[in-house]
Amino acid sequence: MLDDFFIRAVIAGIGVALVAGPLGCFIVWRRLSYFGDTLAHAALLGVALALLFEINLTIAVFLVSSGVAVSLLFLQKKATLSSDALLGLLSHSALALGLVVLAFLTSVRLDLMGLLFGDVLSVSRDDIFVIYSGGAMVLTVLAFIWRPLFAATVNRELAEAEGVHPDRVNVVFMLLMAVVIAIAMKIVGVLLITALLIIPSATARRLSSGPEQMALFSALLGASAVAMGLNGSLRWDTPSGPSIVVACVGLFILSLISTTWIAKFKRATSKLRQDKKHG
Amino acid sequence: MRGIELEVGRSEIVTLIGPNGSGKSTTAKMALGIVKPDEGVASRDKALRVGYVPQKIAVDWTLPLTVRRMMTLTCKLSRQEIDAALESTGADQLIEKEVGHLSGGEFQRVMLARAIARRPDLLVLDEPAQGVDFSGELALYELISQIRDELGCGVLLISHDLHVVMAATDQVICLNGHVCCKGTPSNVAESAEYKKLFGVRGADSLAVYRHNHDHTHLPDGRVQQADGQITEHCHPEQVAVADAAKVPPRDSDVKSDQHA
């Protein structure tokens, strides 16, 4: 079954979506969508360094992304700039550095399009192994820090007063993000990682009444978007990464319409019931 | 802020009062360890279980958060514990509501229920009565002293209101950048003016902390005494005594001697 490139792509994509969903919820709750972009841009620098020093690509991307994440935490404490200015600074310096380093690598033929938009159809069995073992690790750690991380997301001071260490869980969360960026890059590419993180979560928000439910829905919605997007890409010969994101957006619009309908339906039935009572 | 010295022992209710910007919340945050004092120490018992009701928190509307889930924000609780705590603050009807949709008073009741459901050793309440209607406010203060009796916890209560402090308050500390004065509130059950003002029922649970300011606070934080003398603190002789005799208090949850 794993011999077929398409099946491998679907399995790899679903694996990434299952991990991106719950983490994406925190990105939405903490209003960090620009943070996802920053890490993704840093990923490009990671790729350049991996090629320069001939080391494993995923590991290099993880190291550079977590380096950027940790420097963000450090700068937030020290510098007198707002978080979005700091993110812009880190994001674009990493991107520019990455492009400069790439320019030195004249001997290497680089598939820049694959880097930017993902190359899910070329995933190997090893890639699948990396995605599922890395993903399982991320989800395990996330489950472990879930309560304190969520408490610190609702209110930092309240959490800290009641014995949570917000700085500690924030560092762990940022490292998990770096892992996800590293494993998701191959699937949707640098430019669209943030989309895979936040669109399924935004869709799940409309459907769920609790944080755990939202994380679960977000993972499932992301996984179905991957399956739909890849099927669409096979049928209409469209680029795979962007097709997955288009499927995510499609599900979001569908949820928008259906929740409005459900609300209307509920209002109509309750009115009917009241009319019956009085009539 | 400087020269703050206070401690909250078990089963003791300490109330901080003072005008806006006098450092009440900052003092509470230092006691909780959220704000680190520039000078001095804030020490808590190890493994102290804290329940905190902050002055103002806004729950982001992007968070799908029901009251039920809010209750277990920082620790696990059984269904009975959640129900009992919400019932005691009169918020049991709200359990399935989204936190973002609550009114100010409802939210405050939920926050208090959340703090007491943890069965804390120390309860820190930063203006818990804000947004709560008046009859609810009296019930709230009654509840706080009831919780204290039940759990044996220390309570650090902040009120912006100079007149309405609980009869059960053991110690009142008046802050204005430093400790202006502290002492026990005198009971006002006999006071005819207060019976007239709050009604007989109200007078039973309310007390006034009588104090006369015999000094003026200057803009730079120094103090002009009644005799015209300018000093660093309102009661320079007390500060000197307190600094000289730093005897660690027994059986206390929180000690803080802070300069920020």
**Kind of pairing, strands B252-259 and B230-231?**
unpaired
- Residue with more model confidence, B182 or A200: A200
Identify residue A95 by its one-letter amino acid code.
Answer: L
Please answer yes or no on whether A211 and B74 come within 8 Å at the CB atom.
Answer: no
B171: left (phi over 0), alpha (psi -120 to 50) or beta: beta
Let me know: does A8 contact A161? Beta carbons within 8 Å: no
Question: Can you give the pLDDT at residue A17?
Answer: 93
Look up residue A194 and give its two tokens.
Answer: 């943030």
Nearest CA in chain B to A166: B34
Contacts of A146 in chain B (CB under 8 A): none
Tell how strand B122-126 and strand B50-53 pair up.
Answer: parallel
Q: Is the dihedral of CA B101, B105, B106, B111 positive or negative?
A: positive
Give B-chain residues touching A208 at CB under 8 angstroms.
64
CB B210: neighbour CB atoms within 10 A?
11
Measure CB to CB from residue B60 to each of A29, A147, A209 and give the nearest one. Answer: A29
Task: Give the residue carrying structure tokens 């902050």.
Answer: B54
Are residues A154 and B59, on separate chains, in Cβ contact within 8 Å?
A: yes
Q: Rounded CA gap, B87 and B99, in Å? A: 17
Residue in A closest to B51 by C-alpha: A162
DSSP state of B66: B
B191 within 8 A of B176, measured Cβ to Cβ? no
Report the chain A residue with the minimal C-alpha distance to residue B46: A163
Which among A29, A162, A209 has CB closest to B52?
A162
pLDDT per residue as tens digits for the range B67-102: 888 888 888 888 888 888 888 888 888 888 888 888
Residue A148 C-alpha, separation from nearest chain B C-alpha, in angstroms: 6
- Chain A from 147 to 166: CB within 8 A of any B CB: 147-148, 150-151, 153-155, 157-164
ipTM: 0.77
Chain A residues touching B32 at Cβ < 8 A: 160-161
The count of other CB atoms within 10 Å of the CB of residue A260 is: 11
**Chain-chain contact of B73 with A150 (C-beta, under 8 angstroms):** yes
Distance in Å, alpha carbon of B65 to nearest chain A alpha carbon: 5
In whole angstroms, how large is the CA radius of gyration of chain B? 19
* Mean pLDDT to the nearest integer, A115-135: 86
What's the distance, CA B80 to chain centroid?
Answer: 27
Looking at the partner chain, which of A29, A31, A159 has a beta carbon nearest the beta carbon of B74?
Answer: A159
- Predicted model pTM: 0.79
| Residue B204: closest CA among B173, B172, B168, B170 | B168
Q: Which residues of A touch B118 (CB under 8 A)?
A: 162
- The tens-digit pLDDT sequence of chain B (260 residues) is 777 777 788 888 888 877 677 777 888 888 888 888 788 787 777 778 888 888 877 787 778 888 888 888 888 888 888 888 888 888 888 888 888 888 888 888 888 888 888 888 888 888 887 777 766 777 778 788 888 888 888 888 887 665 556 556 777 777 777 776 666 665 433 444 434 444 555 444 444 444 455 666 666 666 676 677 777 665 555 544 444 433 344 344 455 444 44
**Closest Cα in chain A, distance from residue B152 (Å):** 18
Name the DSSP letter for residue B173: E
B121 Cβ partners below 8 Å, 6+ apart?
Answer: B10, B45, B48, B49, B50, B151, B153, B154, B253
| Token couple for A70 | 């940790």
The DSSP secondary structure of A97-133, one letter per residue, reads HHHHHHHH-TTS---HHHHHH--GGG--HHHHHHHHH
Nearest CB to A162 within list B50, B59, B60: B50
Distance from CA of A272 to the nearest CA of B (A): 24
Question: B179-183 and B186-187: which strand pairing?
Answer: unpaired
* Mutation for testing the A interface, residue in B44, B74, B99 having most A CBs under 10 Å: B74
Binding-site residues on chain B for chain A (CB distance < 8 A): 29, 32-34, 49-52, 54, 57, 59-60, 62-66, 69-70, 72-75, 98, 118, 124
Tell me the chain B residues in contact with residue A155 when contact means C-beta distances shorter than 8 Å. Answer: 54, 57, 59
